[in-house]
Amino acid sequence: MEAVKKNNVKVIGKGQKPMLFAHGYGCDQNMWRYITPAFEADYKVVLFDHIGFGGSDTTDYTKEHYDSLKAYAADVLEICRELGLQDVVFVGHSVSAMIGALAAIMEPERFSKLILISPSPSFINDGEYTGGFTKEDIQGLLNSLDSDYLGWSSTIAPVIMGNPARPELGQELVGSFCRSNLEIAKDFAHITFLSDNRKDLPQVKTETLILQCTDDAIAPLSVGEYTHRNIAGSKLVVLEATGHCPNLSAPEETVMAMKNFL
């Protein structure tokens, strides 16, 4: 059970149908603690940490292997295989939304539904596509991260979280970022912010819900609408929640949207 150990997998819940939760950049499975109780009675809830985050085992990490989001999608599929998961409801936040989409493209028969929370197929503006950032913006962000990760974390985490009236949320994200494996977090940031998965979206054939937040500084509404247009048959729900992390800032609204879809 190598992936189960490596990714610090936890299985909870009383149901049989698997529901697999994948956290966003700089986070860990603890970020789902306000969401999972609503599903534990009816689902087999599977939580894990991406390598370099939370309680994951980084012993076998190499930058050469983890050189794209597809490597992280392969980890998701390995967890599914080791646990014998089929007919999976995949819930992915932020970068893990694209990781889940890639996993569903690789093994579409394994997934029954995708719930993509604050997804972005590309952060960089390109012609008519508005990702929210210029190339210069992203390069500046990565340069800042590489030179002073802890300082960068304390600056960027409150921006990602939004909700300035609730500073404790931003501080939680800062703490999560700072607990990450420093070198892996830097590597993963480059992959996350430079990936372009726009061409992958039309290959997603799994029934998909896109949850888009209001006033998201990381993934603006145009990104959610683009993702919706390019995944055939997908459903887009724009939440009243603001910021990039409704799983923390507005769990009740997030749960309601998920349950309506399921």
| Placement of tokens 């990490």 in the chain | 61
Helix axes 135-147, 182-194, angle to 10 degrees: 180
Q: What span, in angstroms and rounded, lies between the C-alpha atoms of 7 and 36?
A: 18
- Catalytic residue, candidates 23, 49, 94, 195: 94
| Placement of tokens 């992959």 in the chain | 191
Task: Reply yes or no on whether 94 is catalytic.
Answer: yes
Task: Reply yes or no on whether 244 is catalytic.
Answer: yes
Task: Return the number of other C-beta atoms located less than 10 Å from residue 36's C-beta.
Answer: 22
- Catalytic residue, candidates 50, 216, 234, 249: 216
Token digits of residue 50: 């991406």
Residue 53 identity: F
Task: Reply yes or no on whether 200 is catalytic.
Answer: no
Q: What span, in angstroms and rounded, lies between the C-alpha atoms of 138 and 123?
A: 8
The secondary structure of residue 53, as a DSSP letter, is: S
- Catalytic residue, candidates 118, 234, 244, 249: 244
Q: What span, in angstroms and rounded, lies between the C-alpha atoms of 256 and 262?
A: 10
Residue 129 and residue 226 in contact, taking contact as beta carbons nearer than 8 Å: yes
Q: State the DSSP string of 141-167.
A: HHHHHHH-HHHHHHHHHHHHH--TT-H
Residue 175, CB-side half-sphere exposure with 13 Å CA sphere: 8
Q: What span, in angstroms and rounded, lies between the C-alpha atoms of 91 and 118?
A: 11
Q: What span, in angstroms and rounded, lies between the C-alpha atoms of 54 and 50?
A: 8
Catalytic residue ranges: 94, 216, 244
